[in-house]
């Protein structure tokens, strides 16, 4: 599928994996909308890097845990670019809580994690679908996690929210066929700002457990999103990029 001249919106696109996805898609000629919640400076810096690649890029501030802000963001993307072909639901949040510590998981933590990691993907898709269908269809790619495939990760509610996102992906693939493809990429342990919340011992343990004995490569993970964006025959699937970690979890 030709990506040049099409438009992608990436939530949480200013830093980490979202930034790398944006750079790779821009390299394919896509114009990019970068959503951020708090990382304004990083989002603007990412836009500057994208523009150097010869594409149009713009930041869109929104807390994706708020459904009204999601709708407003998608409307602003339409006003700015006039179309939307690819939605990457990449924004995520967590709390670092040991699985055994049930007492530390309160309703506020549970609701915030699910609002950002799972609910937002549904309502962003709902808002984006009319724009996509106006131009004949499109794609949605969600960022899940191997924590959604096997118990593990930063906390129990995080792992559960990512498992729910994987099933939401499959359900949306059914609901939006045949003109909109929906897939998810499940990364392993990435060396990003996100992983700074883990203790050094946890870093070492994850690297040692991975079959390839290393962190999951950021560029390799983003490349899975690019592959899906260019493919017209995959929907309802989970693409795991984790250096073999989930096989040892």
Distance CA 185, CA 237 (A): 8
Return the residue matching tokens 């495939």: 149
- Cα end-to-end distance, the chain, whole Å: 35
Q: Is 36 a catalytic residue?
A: no
Q: Residue 128 is encoded by which pair of tokens?
A: 């984006």
Q: List the Cα angle 16/143/241 in 5-degree steps.
A: 80
Distance CA 142, CA 166 (A): 8
Distance CA 19, CA 14 (A): 5
Cβ partners under 8 Å of residue 127, min gap 6: 70, 71, 73, 74, 75
Q: Residue 68 is encoded by which pair of tokens?
A: 């009204």
Strand order across the beta sheet in which 31-36 lies: 57-61, 31-36, 7-10, 86-89, 138-143, 180-187, 238-241
**Which member of 36, 158, 189, 194 is catalytic?**
158
Could you give the residue numbers annotated as active site? 158
């Amino acid at each position: 599928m030709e990506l040049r001249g099409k438009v992608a919106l990436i939530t949480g696109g200013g830093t980490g994996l979202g930034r790398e996805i944006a750079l790779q898609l821009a390299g394919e000629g896509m114009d990019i909308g970068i959503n951020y919640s708090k990382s304004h400076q990083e989002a603007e810096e990412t836009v500057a890097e994208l523009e150097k690649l010869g594409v149009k890029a713009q930041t869109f501030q929104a807390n994706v845990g708020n459904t009204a802000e999601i709708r407003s963001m998608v409307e602003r993307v339409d006003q700015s670019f006039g179309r939307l072909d690819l939605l990457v639901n990449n924004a995520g949040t967590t709390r670092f809580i040991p699985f055994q510590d049930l007492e530390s998981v309160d309703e506020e933590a549970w609701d915030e994690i699910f609002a950002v990691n799972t609910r937002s993907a549904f309502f962003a898709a709902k808002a984006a679908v009319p724009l996509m269908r106006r131009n004949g269809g499109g794609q949605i790619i969600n960022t899940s996690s191997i924590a959604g495939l096997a118990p593990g990760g930063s906390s129990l509610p995080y792992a559960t929210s990512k498992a729910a996102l994987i099933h939401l992906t499959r359900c949306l693939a059914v609901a939006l066929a045949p003109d909109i493809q929906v897939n998810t990429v499940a990364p392993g342990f990435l060396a990003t700002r996100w992983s700074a919340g883990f203790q050094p011992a946890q870093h070492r343990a994850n690297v040692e457990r991975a079959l390839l004995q290393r962190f999951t490569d950021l560029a390799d993970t983003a490349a899975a999103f690019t592959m899906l964006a260019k493919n017209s025959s995959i929907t309802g699937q989970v693409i795991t990029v984790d250096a073999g970690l989930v096989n040892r979890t």
